[in-house]
Structures are given as structure tokens and as C-alpha cells.
Structure 1
């Protein structure tokens, strides 16, 4: 029995998988709002390379050699682990595997796209990138990627996370990232939000608006996004492509695949390479997107066109949404506090290929503690959502006697999220 399944460095995928041509129905195109022309801003915001990928219908897109070399340097391919002790504690016949994206230098899956986006921006000759971040994992990843590409980086960090997770800010600063709590006084939209509420906790939607305004005001700056858009999920498919090879080595076929969702990047990256197999009848797998009960985009949202940001600067995208002005409660899983969802993930939910499931914060932290005691790894608050669902599925297998293979996208570690665990242990999260 294998506890750890690794791949040699030369097995880093040579191509990203683009799910668009294999979706069960065509992906609804983004469109302009009636009162503006937001689509025209895209070439000012994004590099030529990622814009081509965003609109591509090519199934396979070559990963540049320079990007693959950096992937190897940061530890790709990442290992797949069998959670044998957790299985024994749960007394389940299920097999639980988890894909270790926390192995990256920044502790999460986010570097997979940060490196690619910084590479294409550097090719275009820009000098600085702006972005938003919730829990700080994306901002950390982009700060490192920009440092590696000799570019400047400005990160608008959701204010509640800026206050809850001060050492995320420190790591971004180690990588020379400029970190600004959002809403801020640096942008017109930030000042507007602060005028309405000087103690505004912020949201990813607001931080996106600020980062976009910053980029649009400087010709030497591009905006980058850590989730939601097609090209971001494309870059993350290295997760699923590696997992496929590792499961083949283990002689396993997935029965259940689970990931946490805020914007959808780690979940989409993990499952997209398996979706075509599901559609073609080669596997019979249940795909579950785990989200916070406090921000139930897939389980309570409406499938309609909406803005990706709060100010309404993005094009309209068809997705599940709670409304672009929705401000989620200040839960510790800052990376999941987003009003919308990646259009590709939303489409798969709408078509019945993916199930959305919401879980309460107190249950996720308990699952994080249970996992850490069993496997030794402290998961990020975001990742605990997926683990809670995985444990529920494993317990169900105990009831039915089914020997299912459950695969979890372990999106990041929680070693910089200890305030949340401390609050839970001391009874402050109920």
C-alpha cells in the first residue's frame, strides 16, 4: 500500500488542459453592461498571453519552457498522499487521498497561475502587477512570482484578513510586495467605500475594483486575478493532470472528488481533467464543491450575469452569484469570501455535473483539527471545508459499506492561519 505517490520532475505537465471545448454546453460569453464598455478595458488590464488563453477553444495549450522550469523549482509535481490514519480513525472502508498543494514555497496552489501570469506580463514589458487577495495566499504567490520576474507587485488585501492574518502581510513584504488594506484611500472606489463606512471589513469584490482602478491608471501596469477567469483555472489544471497519473500508479479510479471553492481555481484545476472522462462514461465520479455556509454562492446564489467586482468595472459574466454588492461575514476562510463563481465551475453545477455543498465554519475547524491530529498537517481554513465534506463522505461509506476512493484537493496549509484555530479552540467560534 502506498502512503505517498510522487512523480519525477520531468513528469511536470507540458501542456495545460482547456476544458472549454469539452464543456457539455457552450460557455456563455462575457458581455458589456448596458451603460458601459467594460470588455474594451481587457487589453489594458491583462497580458496578451492570458487574453489569448481566456478566449481559446484549443483543448491543449503548451506550457512555456520557462514556466515549466519554475514549476520544477517550486516542487512540482506535488505529491499525492493516502490519509491512512484518518481512514482508521473514521473506521471507514473508503480510501482517502489528498493532493498536497501546500508543498509550494508559499503554501498553496496559487503559484501555479501566479508564475504563468507574471511570465506573460513580463513578455509584454510591463513593470508592475496589481491584484487583490483575501486570506493572503494569492497575494503571497504573486509577490513571489513578481520578485522572480524582477517586477513590482501591489496587493490590495481585504481589510478583515489584513487584520486577522498579519504574517501573510509580512511574507508578501519579504518578497517585496506592497500590501494595502482594502478598502483603501489609494483609489477612488476605496475612498468611496470608506466614506460610507470607515470601519468597512472589505470584500474580494471591493479589492478587485481597487486593483483594477490602479492598473487602469498606469500604462506600465497590468492587473492579475487569482481565481474565477478561464485562464486562471487553465493554469491550475496541472493539479488534476498530475493527480490522474498518480491515481493510475496507485491503481485507483476516483469515486468522489472534492475541493473548496471561493472563486473556483483549485477546485477547477483539480477536477477539470476528469470531467471529460465523466461525460464520456469512462468514470462514475461525484464532484463536490465545498463552500462556506456564510457565503453560499453555489447553494443559494442565482445563475445569472453579474459583475465580478463590487464597483462594476468587469464585464458581466454568467455565474452563480450572491450579488456583486454582497459583503460576506468576516469568517476566517478569507479566500472563500467571494460573491461569485468561476463561470466554468458554475456551468458544471448548473448542468448537474458538480454538486455545491455549504458547511459551517465551526464544523470546518473541527475537521481541520481532526485531520491535523491524524495526518500531521495543519490545513488552511479554506481547505478544511473540503476535508469536512470528505470526512462526511467517508462516514457515509462506513454506513453503506462501500469502498469508495475519495480524492481531496488539499489547497494549502494553515500555519499562518493559527488565529482562527486559536479562536475555535478557545470557544470563540460557535
Structure 2
């Protein structure tokens, strides 16, 4: 198995990053050169370093099966195939890139990796990867999520990480407050990493290299579907910044119109791909990182709290945003009640509790295979990635069972205000749902 990049198949170059107004001069990349090469090179296949491959073999390949019990539970008209990424210690797909990044940072002489995390899956994955490669790890986790999922913090500490609720008192931006958002947690991690020798900030989702590392998911799925003599017309994954969806879907992208529909399922509270604008925006709350061309609802938008914390990022990865802009991927928004109801149906039928984020993908799949989604048809079948388990998210399911869940959709006026000053990439926007 090798990593497979979609960049050579796009047929165009991604828009360049811009220096943010707050920066003094050009930005100096702090990531290892090999990760930079993986982000910009036109090479399609990349060898996986043996130390990383050795770690992968502990839990890969991950299972793929036809979810016939789920099909019966939801009244599916076509087959549903599930690719499950929740069987490793992090409980999610995030470990695929965490191991790779920890390896490259360790080789570059870094002693401590610092990151921000929403639901805690990425923080857990990085803590595990740092333990595997002998690095220290510090995690800033969105405070509301840490309160809702305290055992995520316990697991990260068990793996040797230092865990701080964001906003914290450890950084200047944390002292300023600003609510509970992944952008703020990332901003704190950026500031904290810059303040210490031997530290480096590490991000798990939006960068091209992290999406590249996740390509093992889709490549395995293609082989496993072939073994089952199965074909699918739609491939679905949930989207925060984009590594899970990119991992399952982009290996199916051929550069023409012959492949399956690639459908990104996002949260209706953070609908960047379906209700956002294609513009240059900040990637974190410090404003010190590069401005990237992305579909965004605005880095200053106050995202309402929800149990789909891993999807609560204001923008989509620049790679996925460019593909969305050119109509190469599709998108749909799902409310958290529908997501958790789909998760409940999956748990009761397939006997696996999915993470709330994965529930969004399952809800989108249910709409497609039952014919409720008139725009996207299942045809021969649908492949959906269940990116992680929900065993540390049971408080969300408790609220569902108690009838206490509410859906807080994005406020159109607030989104318009948060994006008004952003520089659009151009004046032609992809039609949204």
C-alpha cells in the first residue's frame, strides 16, 4: 500500500495561499519539508515509510461490509457498504495521518507536538502517535467538548499528553476568550507552540498532506469492493475540514465524469460547502497562519454548540474547496438530530455505535438509498465511511433519547456579516444545495 495523491488528476492548480494582514513579512513554514513536498508535488504515489507502515499494520486494513441490517432498518432500496475506521486506539481515522506526521516531525528534530482538537479524536490520535515515536504532546481541546466528553481527556492523558480546555489561561488569545470553537483551540495551540523551543504545531485535517495520508481508506475500499464484486454510485463521508471525506472519496476520483458521485456530509450548524462563500479566510483564531482559498462561513462566525464537534470548523480544506468550486464533489448539510437518529439506527442494527460526526454521513446515506434525496441517487449502491466510534459520545445519545436535542442552523445574516470583508477567489460560485 502507498499513499495516493489526487493533485495530478485535478487538471488545474490550487489557488496560492496569501499572507494574512497580521503577519510581518512572508510566513516561514514550520512543517517538515517532506510534508510540504507531499502538499505541492504532482507525484501521484508516495511510499509509506516502514516505521509508519509497521504501525499501520497494527490496525489496517480496516473492515468493509455490506450493512444489510442497516438497510432493513432504514428501508434502503439499494445496497449500503460501510468502511469502518473506529477500531484503533484513537477510535477514528485520525490515526492514519497522526502516525505519519509524528514520524516526520520526530525525524526533523521536534521534541513536542502541540495541537487543537474539537471532539477529541484528533487529539487522541496525536497523543497515541507521539507515544509511538517518543514525542511529548500538548492538546488544546474545545472546552465545551471536553466537558461533554471528559473521557477523551482521560484517554489522551493516559497516552501521556497534557490536555487543556480551550479557551485556557495559558495563551494570550485564550485570555481574550471568544467562546468555544475549533479555530480558537487551534489558535491557542499555534501560540503555545511558538513560545517553546523544540515545539511544533501539528494539524490533522485540512492540509493536503493529511488528506494524502488518509488515502489508505479509499484505496482499501476500492480493493475490498472489488473482492465483493460490488460497485457503488455514491461515496459519502462527513466533513469538518476534510480529511475523512478526502480519504474515503478522493481515491475514487478519476478526473472525468465516469466515477461515482463524491458526497460530503457536513453539519447544518457549520455549512461551509453548502452555504458558505469561496474566499480567502484565516485558518485559525490567531490570524498568523496563511490565508487559504476555502469555502467558509467566516473565521469570525460564532458557531453554535453541537455534539458534532469534529465538524465545527468554519472552512473546508483548500483542496476540497477547489473541487467543490469546479463541481467535482457534491455536498449536503445534516442536522444533529437526524445524524444521531441515523447513528441510533446503525447501532441498533449493525451493533456499532458511530460517532456523531459519522452519523451525518449515515444520515446522508440513508437519504440517498431511500430516495429522499432527489439530487443524489444510489443506483448500484452507496459506500459510506463511519470514521469513528461513539463510545465516548454517549452523552449525545442520552440527550437524543431524552428528547433534549435541538438543531441550531447557521444564521444567514450572521454568515453574511462574517464573510462580507473576505476576498472572493472569483465571482463564479458553485451552485449549492
TM-score, structure 2 length as denominator? 0.90
1:28 aligned to 6, 15, 18, which one? 15
Q: Measure the CA separation in 2 of the matches of 1:264 and 1:402.
A: 22
Equivalent residues of 1:256, 1:288 under 8 A apart = yes
- Following superposition, the deviation at residue 322 of structure 1 comes to 0.9
Task: Give SS of 2:362's match.
Answer: helix
* Paired position in structure 1 for 2:97: 113
Q: Of 48, 71, 87, which aligns to 1:87? A: 71
Distance 1:275 1:38, change over 3 A: farther
The CA deviation at 1:58 is 1.2
Aligned residue number for residue 247 of structure 2:
269
In structure 1, runs of 5+ residues without a counterpart are 1-12
Q: Is the 8 A contact 1:380 1:413 kept in 2?
A: yes
Identify which range, 208-217 or 393-402, moves more after superposition: 393-402
TM-score by length of 1: 0.91
Deviation of residue 282 (structure 1)?
A: 4.3
How has the CA–CA distance of structure 1 residues 118 and 165 changed in structure 2, closer, same or farther, with 3 Å as cutoff? same
Q: Structure 1 residue 59: deviation in Å?
A: 1.2
Is the 8 Å Cα contact of residues 232 and 379 (structure 2) preserved in structure 1?
Answer: no
Deviations 1:375-395 (A, max 9, x none): 111100000000001011111
Which is richer in helix?
1
8 Å contact kept, 1:118–1:142: yes
How far off is 1:257 after superposition? 0.6
Q: Which residue number corresponds to residue 122 of structure 2?
A: 138
1:361-372 matches, cutoff 5 A:
361-372=336-347
CA positional deviation for 1:397: 8.2
Counterpart mapping for 1:200-349 below 5 A: 200=179, 202-276=180-254, 279-283=255-259, 285-349=260-324
Measure the CA separation in 2 of the matches of 1:165 and 1:402.
35
Q: Deviations over 1:29-60 (max 9, x none)?
A: 11212452575231xx3223212222222111
**Counterpart contact for 1:93–1:404, Cα < 8 Å:** no
State the alpha-carbon separation in 2 of the partners of residues 39 and 178 from structure 1. Answer: 31
Q: Deviations over 1:87-117 (max 9, x none)?
A: 2233333110010101122110000000000
Out of 382, 397, 408, the residue aligned to residue 357 of structure 2 is: 382
Would the alpha carbon gap of residues 329 and 38 (structure 1) be closer, same or farther in structure 2, given more than 3 Å must change?
farther
Alignment RMSD: 1.8
1:287, distance to aligned residue in structure 2 (A): 1.3
Structure 2 residue aligned with 1:6: none
Return the match for 1:66 from 36, 51, 60: 51
The reply on whether 1:55 has 2:37 as its aligned counterpart is no
